[in-house]
Amino acid sequence: MIKVVTIGEIVVEIMAVAPGKGFREPIELVGPYPSGAPAIFIDQLAKQGQPCAMVSCVGNDDFGWLNIERLRQDGVDVSAIRVHEDAVTGSAFVRYRTDGQRDFVFNIKHSANGQIGLTEAAKAVIASAGHLHVMGSSLVSAGIIEAVLFALEQIKARGGTVSFDPNIRKEMLGFVGLREALDKVLAQTDLFMPSGSEVLLFSQESSEETAVWDILARGVRAIVLKQGAAGARYLDGKDDLFVPAFAVEEIDPTGAGDAFGATFLAGWLGGLDAETNLRRANGAGALAVGRKGPMEGTSTRAELDAFVSQQVAA
Ligand code: ATP
Ligand code: MG
């Protein structure tokens, strides 16, 4: 089986118990939960039975070990997660507002994540990988960009493949080097998995519909458009299909896109047909939104298969 590597941030998430605005008064909190978009992604991928590794950095503290232990227990190769003696594990405090918006207090840039780079252990897992998954939102440190572009070149040169989830918020686009790095990644991408309107960040076309065709014409082999509670669409220049999401109660949307993407990637690498694969990935997204906590809603192959067959039968 092909080994997948991803490179990016690890954080703990600490959540406000009650919805409301921000953190300017003492409130009840719950956590720490293991988190970070690439970490959630790789956890789901491991639970799907795909060999995989993460390149990252945490501090030698409980927040770091909480993440390493969870990822290791779920089957991720953690040998390239550096434990830094002089840095603190990243964190994100999050509070949901009543309208579904979120307020954050982040410690990422000046955390151990700022120390992610091409260590010997990172080079070793990159050398063992046949597929690279890029989380665009992670490309906001010089060290991560360098490591991702190195992995991209090495893995493609060996005939390996690349998947790419931009996961971009507009405010990030100001980071020096991000735009250029995103474009370099897309130019080498085989499987592109944006959220609906993100495709407009990668094409001169003015509509989502024309943008996806433009991106396929530029050499991307397949596009999966994540459409939240609506479902997801798959296009590869030949097939164009949509599978609706499962109707579930949304308890915490964080991590749905990552669980979805990892599940679709596992199916894609295993040669699963696109329609079945979309249904399974939708199932992983539905299970993720049904659980409180970013990584708490990841699912094993057996859990996911049981959920999907139960829903289809209902
Ligand atoms: P994020 O980056 O916030 O994790 P995303 O934009 O990358 O999200 P979404 O499109 O929000 O990804 O979610 C991914 C998939 O998860 C959807 O395509 C869908 O299958 C599933 N999903 C998301 N929200 C819901 C929901 N409320 N009900 C059922 N399924 C959902
Ligand atoms: Mg996302």
Cα separation of 87 and 126, whole Å? 24
- How far is the C-alpha of 43 from the C-alpha of 298, rounded, in Å? 7
Q: Return the CA Rg of the chain.
A: 18
Mean pLDDT of the 168-186 span: 90
> Does residue 289 line the site of ligand 1, with CB under 6 A?
yes
Q: Is 66 in the pocket of ligand 1 (CB under 6 A)?
A: no
Closest CA to 132 of 4, 19, 266, 223: 4
CA atoms within 13 A on the CB side of 28: 3
CA of 232 to the centre of ligand 1 (A): 9
**pLDDT at residue 173, as a whole number:** 84
Residue 100 predicted with pLDDT over 70: yes
**SS3 readout for the chain:** CCCEEEECCCEEEEEECCCCCCCCCCCCEEEEEEECHHHHHHHHHHHCCCCEEEEEEEECCHHHHHHHHHHHHCCCECCCEEEECCCCCEEEEEEECCCCCEEEEEECCCCHHHHCCCCHHHHHHHHHCCEEEEEHHHCCCHHHHHHHHHHHHHHHHCCCEEEEECCCCHHHHHCCCHHHHHHHHHHCCCEECCEHHHHHHHCCCCCHHHHHHHHHHCCCCEEEEECHHHEEEEECCCCEEEEECCCCCCCCCCCHHHHHHHHHHHHHHCCCCHHHHHHHHHHHHHHHHCCCCCCCCCCCHHHHHHHHHHHHHC
- Average pLDDT of the chain, as a whole number: 96
Residue 270: pLDDT over 70: yes
Average pLDDT for 273-301: 97
Does the C-beta of 229 come closer than 6 Å to ligand 1?
yes
Mutate to test the pocket of ligand 1, among 242, 289, 292, 299 (most ligand atoms within 8 A of CB): 289
Interface ipTM: 0.97
Contact 61, 278 (CB under 8 A): no
**Which-ligand-closest: CA of 242?**
1
Ligand 1 centre and the CA of 61: distance in Å?
32
Between the CA of 206 and the centroid of ligand 1 the distance, in Å, is: 24
pLDDT of residue 12: 98
Cα separations in angstroms, 229 against 13, 21, 243 = 23, 24, 11
Interval 127-154 mean pLDDT? 97
pLDDT of 155 above 90: yes
- Does 312 have pLDDT greater than 80? no
pLDDT of 169 reads 82
Please report how the helices 274-289 and 256-269 are oriented relative to each other, as an axis angle in degrees rounded to 10.
150
Residue 171 clears pLDDT 80, i.e. is over it = no
- CB of 286 closer than 6 A to ligand 1? yes
- In the chain the first and final C-alpha atoms are separated, in Å, by 34
Which pLDDT score, from 0 to 100, does residue 150 have? 98
In the structure, what pLDDT confidence band is assigned to residue 314 with cuts at 50, 70 and 90?
A: low
- Please say if the pLDDT value at position 154 is more than 90: yes
Tell how far the Cα of 264 is from the centroid of ligand 2, in angstroms.
13
**Domain 4-313: which CATH number of 3.40.50.2300, 3.90.1200.10, 3.40.1190.20, 1.25.40.80:** 3.40.1190.20
Pick the atom of ligand 1 nearest to 261's CA: 14
Q: What confidence tens digit (pLDDT) does each residue in 200-224 have?
A: 999 999 999 999 999 999 999 999 9
Q: Which atom of ligand 1 is nearest to the CA of 246?
A: 29
pLDDT value at position 313? 67
| Interval 70-84: pLDDT, tens | 999 999 999 999 999
CA 301, 268, 199, 196 dihedral sign is negative
Torsion of CA 133, 138, 141, 143, to 10 degrees: -20
Domain ranges in the chain are 4-313
228 lines ligand 1 (CB under 6 A): yes
CA 60 to ligand 1 center in whole angstroms: 33
Phi, psi dihedral angles at 162 (to 5 degrees): -135, 135
- What angle separates helix 274-289 from helix 301-313, to the nearest 10 degrees? 100
Q: From CA 40, how far away is CA 297, in angstroms rounded? A: 9
Cβ-based neighbour number of residue 96 at 10 Å: 18
Residue pair 48/76 in contact (Cβ under 8 Å)? The answer is: no
> CA distances (Å), 33 to each of 29, 78, 108, 139, 204, in order?
11, 18, 15, 23, 39
The response to whether residue 299 sits with its C-beta less than 6 Å from ligand 1 reads no
How much of the chain, in percent, has pLDDT values that exceed 90?
94
